[in-house]
Structure 1
Amino acid sequence: MPDSLPRFPYKADRLKPLRAFCQVARLGSVSRAAEALFVSQPAVTLQLQALERELGEKLFERSGRRLVPTRAGEALYELARPLVDGIDTLPAAFRNEVKGMDAGELHIAANSSTILYLLPRIVERFRQHHPDVRLSLHNTVSADGTDLLRADTVDLVVGSMHDVPGDLSYAPLHRFEQRLVMPLGHPLADKPALSLADIGQHGLILPPKRQITWRLVDLVFQQNRVPYTVALEVGGWEVIKQYVAMGMGISILSSICLTDADRGRIATRSVGSFFPDRSYGVVMRKGKLPSPQARAFMDLIQPDLFMRRDYYDSGHSER
């Protein structure tokens, strides 16, 4: 190489600086990236500096306590992430392909409602077809699930997603209507012409604000400029249904959360004309190939698994 050309110590091995760059972009910190890579902070800093000198672009800027990619850094991240992920997961992917589905692990993140209502039949079928795969279900709220996904702690997230970040892909697989649930004998159960204002006059029992259901319910009332009152915030649809049955308020939930056990203790009716259907599907990281175990699990998520018997309807449908 001519003496006039610059020489950088990391240029011959682009994988190390690209791996360090991707970890800093994901974690927002040189120190956290160093911990994830089991190297020193100075080593990560040198790799980033060498990469910036080679490319002639500033790749990060500070936003508060976090390092965030610049415009050039975002472009490099989109290009480098699938390359780094492909190299890092190559040994495991190779072993899985060689072994097939006779062994391996599958980690899935989902919230408690999804684990309770949506996944049992899918998990049962997966266990029947692949008994030697170690399946782990991580009970999380949606935000925690995507964090686990980005950190490669889980293979995929199953649930509902409203706003999809740019680094993730969401494949909705089925939609469920929204239902109004009330105590037996509630005046709204048999009201012929139900309006959103009618619902807003009664105290609502909703999950915490950080969850999608609360945000969607709030959005509908705000868009229609209808006042409403939250009587109680509590996590878990089984708890919410129990409190509704006790007469402590009414609620709006996805039809997937209703079971035969609810018949005789609460009244329900469709509110699909006010509240949009909720989709449920699979969330994955863009650019990362699913493992054979993950592909096998996704193949089992078919709409016919979600078919339920007719919901009991105590009042007039607005659909």
Structure 2
Amino acid sequence: MELMEVFAVVVEQQSLNKASQLLNLSQPALSRKIMRLEEDLGVELFKRKGKRLELTRAGEVCYEFALEQKRLEHKLQRALQAFKTDTQQASLIVGASLTTLQSTLPDLLTLFTKEFPTIDIKAVTGKTHEIVSLVKERKVDIGLVASKIDDAHLNCLPLFDDHLCLVLPRIHPLSGQHALDIADLQDLPMILFSRGTWYRILMDELFQRNAVHPDVKMEIDSFEAIIRLVSTCQTATLLPQSYLRRNLIEDNELTVRHIPALQQTKRTTSLLYTEEAVLQPATKRFVEQAVLHYRADPAGPFVQL
């Protein structure tokens, strides 16, 4: 490879003297390298006419190969460059509550892996208090929860606010009603998130505060399952705005309705990390990527009411 590079320089300079200066070699040493290459290849590369060098046909073929070799070497170096950075063999463990796993984490992981493909990512799920503990114990590098956490041992970085929304099938009787109120949820057949979760606690507090008692037909811990069942069972549900992508609503023939009282169910989705964890390049870059994403487009693909 070295001899081919030397040969290419001689061809381009059209002079052993100029090439030797460029390569920082003595002219006799350069001549020996060219002779060695000719011996290795078994062909004559130059015709020497006085002080001039003229390529033979074999030399022209060899020069084309040398250029191609140089292009391939540059391509290889570019391909390997990502592995020479501090992200080499880096890994990141993200802890996410179930709600953020379904609503927020997929978008962030898609963006992050596209920008930093060499970083391996592992996701761990749990309830919010479990994710808080995992972050504090350094069992995960960063946490993603639908809550603001006040803890002296953690940094809590708010990403965005959202609230619960009423989701109905398009042909539901309430879908065409001009204005809806929280009282419209009284005895309304609904599928809700499982008890004990943050969003279900918000719902129950909302119902108690407004003395409303919906007819809860099912309790499920999967947003996706709720969406499908609402459509097929012709029931209603309450889901966080951060989960309600436009394509999800359209594909399942649903509609999202505004109820003023639901504004009181505002939740803040946040990143959690320790000071030590954010010193790691992978964690720091994940935090930076999340902040850039939500500052550039706070609404994202969420359904706007």
Q: Do these two structures clear the TM 0.5 threshold for a shared fold by scoring above it?
A: yes
- How far did 1:119 drift? 2.5
User: CA 1:116–1:214 in structure 2 vs 1: closer, same or farther (change >3 Å)?
Assistant: closer
User: CA 1:233–1:99 in structure 2 vs 1: closer, same or farther (change >3 Å)?
Assistant: same
Q: Distance in 1 between matches of 2:102 and 2:116?
A: 21
- Taking the TM superposition and a 5 Å limit, the aligned residue runs for 1:1-319 are 100-161=86-147, 164-165=150-151, 167-247=153-233, 249-259=235-245, 260-263=247-250, 264-275=252-263, 276-285=265-274, 288-290=276-278, 291-301=280-290, 302-303=293-294, 304=296, 307-308=299-300, 311=303
* SS class of match (1:233): strand
Q: Distance in 1 between matches of 2:180 and 2:151?
A: 36
Could you tell me which runs of 5 or more consecutive residues in structure 1 were left unpaired when the two chains were aligned: 1-97
Deviations 1:209-267 (A, max 9, x none): 12111000111122223333422111110101111112253111112212303315222
Q: Distance in 1 between matches of 2:212 and 2:146?
A: 25
- How far did 1:167 drift? 4.3
Partner letter of residue 257 of structure 2?
R
Q: Distance in 2 between matches of 1:191 and 1:293?
A: 49
User: CA 1:282–1:272 in structure 2 vs 1: closer, same or farther (change >3 Å)?
Assistant: farther
Partner letter of residue 298 of structure 1?
V
Q: Distance in 1 between matches of 2:187 and 2:203?
A: 14
Give the TM-score normalised by the residue count of structure 1: 0.60
* SS class of match (1:189): helix
User: CA 1:118–1:124 in structure 2 vs 1: closer, same or farther (change >3 Å)?
Assistant: same
Q: Quick check: 2:192–2:238 contact (8 Å CA) kept in 1?
A: yes
Q: Distance in 2 between matches of 1:253 and 1:261?
A: 12
- How far did 1:183 drift? 2.0
Q: Distance in 1 between matches of 2:185 and 2:116?
A: 46
Larger radius of gyration: 2
- How far did 1:298 drift? 0.8
- How far did 1:175 drift? 1.6
Q: Quick check: 2:142–2:283 contact (8 Å CA) kept in 1?
A: yes
User: CA 1:157–1:163 in structure 2 vs 1: closer, same or farther (change >3 Å)?
Assistant: closer
Structure with the largest fraction of helix: 2
Deviations 1:138-171 (A, max 9, x none): 1323233223223321011112015645544422
Q: Quick check: 1:177–1:270 contact (8 Å CA) kept in 2?
A: no
- How far did 1:305 drift? 5.2
Q: Quick check: 1:155–1:284 contact (8 Å CA) kept in 2?
A: yes
Q: Distance in 2 between matches of 1:248 and 1:144?
A: 35
- How far did 1:306 drift? 5.2
Larger mean Cα displacement after TM superposition, 99-108 or 131-140: 99-108
**How much is the aligned-residue C-alpha RMSD, in angstroms?**
2.7
Q: Quick check: 1:157–1:284 contact (8 Å CA) kept in 2?
A: yes
Deviations 1:49-76 (A, max 9, x none): xxxxxxxxxxxxxxxxxxxxxxxxxxxx
Partner letter of residue 230 of structure 1?
V
Q: Quick check: 1:149–1:155 contact (8 Å CA) kept in 2?
A: yes
Partner letter of residue 272 of structure 2?
V
Alignment size in residue pairs: 215
Q: Distance in 2 between matches of 1:194 and 1:300?
A: 38
